[in-house]
Amino acid sequence: MHDLHDEGATREQIEHALVTLPYHPAMIRAVKALKSANSPKTTFLCLSASNHVYIRTILAHNGLGDLFADIVTNKAEWHGDRLDLRRHIGPDDPPHNCTVGCSPNLCKGSELTSFLARCGETYDRIMYVGDGSNDFCPSIRLSENDVVLCRRDRALQRRIRAAPELVKATVKYWEGAWEIEEYFNSLIKS
């Protein structure tokens, strides 16, 4: 981000670029519908290797900002037109000790476990939507009652195929946001 700042990019230009990123309308409809139906009761958690500014800007622009109970990601803060980023787990912090292969700055599996312990809720089912290699760790922490919504032809699918015995949850593959929308709508109707 310092390079962008050094090249003269302004906060407004960066935020404009973020809100012009394509976010499929079916995904927006799916998340809003599932949350508003509240049957089943739904809690959304965002685990991301991105950063707070990017995620909050994109969610707010798409009317999803208030739907998430928590967003666990890298820290980000504006200082004038410069966006300063800090790792979720900094280089001087104790490591997360994950042996699954999570990136040094964030173990999504331990963050999911921590969130569940913190919120004190008991869930009938956890649905985890992911596509990256870092999504494998939370996927193998889920139970038989849970669902991994795994994007086809991405790193998560390759990791699941390499070690299917580690995944207890049902795995449903998807390519487009409309498939997530169909699946979420089926939950509302059941």
pTM of the model: 0.92
Residues paired with 79 in a beta bridge: 82
**Which numeric CATH code is attached to 2-189?**
3.40.50.1000
The verdict on whether omega for the bond into residue 40 sits within 30 degrees of 0, i.e. cis, is: yes
Q: Which among 36, 16, 32, 35 has a CA at the least distance from the CA of 24?
A: 32
Overall average pLDDT of the 163-171 stretch: 98
**Position 75 pLDDT exceeds 80:** yes
Overall average pLDDT of the 178-185 stretch: 96
Structure tokens at 143: 């139970």
Asked if residue 133 lies in contact with residue 162, where contact means CB atoms within 8 angstroms, the answer is no
| Alpha-carbon gap, residue 184 to 147, rounded angstroms | 12
Cβ-proximal residues to 34 (8 Å cutoff; 6+ apart), any chain: 42, 184, 187, 188
Concatenating the DSSP letter of every residue in 57-70 gives HHHHHTT-TTSEEE
Q: How many CB atoms lie within 10 A of CB 144?
A: 7
Structure tokens at 107: 């173990």
| Residue type present at position 23 | Y
Q: For residue range 130-141, list pLDDT tens digits in order.
A: 999 999 999 999
Residue 153 assigned to a binding site: no
Is the Cα torsion angle 32, 37, 38, 40 positive or negative in sign? Answer: negative
| Alpha-carbon gap, residue 148 to 125, rounded angstroms | 11
**Position 189 pLDDT exceeds 70:** no
Overall average pLDDT of the 34-40 stretch: 84
The domain segmentation of the chain, as residue ranges, is 2-189
In the prediction, which pLDDT does 117 show? 95
